[in-house]
């Protein structure tokens, strides 16, 4: 399995987790401009999956809540982000 495929699987798991968190999902939908009815189609897009992971990576609380619930190591989302589009781009913040 390629790095991108592994990253997409992790991001899909994270999206599933996010869908189960109404407060967090609302924040993500507001930030991304996506509509709830669009999520299934958007989940096929690696750039959208990158946006999901980016949203979760904004706070340690989200990262830990998601990874603990999914049984993943806390570093899993950061690792997944590196395998998605734009993940290797430098961040100068």
Within a domain: 87:
no
pLDDT at residue 92, rounded to an integer: 47
Per the prediction, the chain carries an average pLDDT of 93
Domain membership flag for residue 92: no
Res 27: pLDDT: 95
Per-residue pLDDT tens over the stretch 48-59: 999 999 999 999
For the chain, the domain total comes to 1
Residue 10 falls within a domain, yes or no?
yes
Does some domain include residue 75? yes
Residues in contact with 3: Cβ distance below 8 Å, sequence separation at least 6, in sequence order: 82, 83
Question: Is residue 23 in a domain?
Answer: yes
Dist. CA 53–CA 8, nearest whole Å: 10
Neighbouring C-alpha atoms within 13 Å toward the C-beta of 26: 2
Q: Is residue 93 part of a domain?
A: no
Please check whether residue 7 lies inside any domain of the structure.
yes
Is 45 inside a domain boundary?
yes
Q: Where in the sequence is the domain holding 46, given as residue range(s)?
A: 3-82
């Amino acid at each position: 399995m390629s790095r991108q495929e592994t990253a997409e699987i992790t991001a899909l798991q994270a999206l599933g987790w996010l869908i189960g968190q109404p407060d967090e999902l609302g924040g993500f939908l507001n930030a991304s401009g996506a509509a709830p009815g669009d999520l299934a189609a958007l989940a096929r897009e690696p750039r959208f999956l990158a946006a999901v992971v980016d949203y979760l990576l904004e706070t340690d609380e989200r990262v830990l809540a998601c990874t603990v619930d999914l049984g993943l190591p806390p570093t899993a989302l950061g690792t997944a982000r590196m395998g998605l589009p734009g993940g290797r781009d430098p961040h100068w913040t």
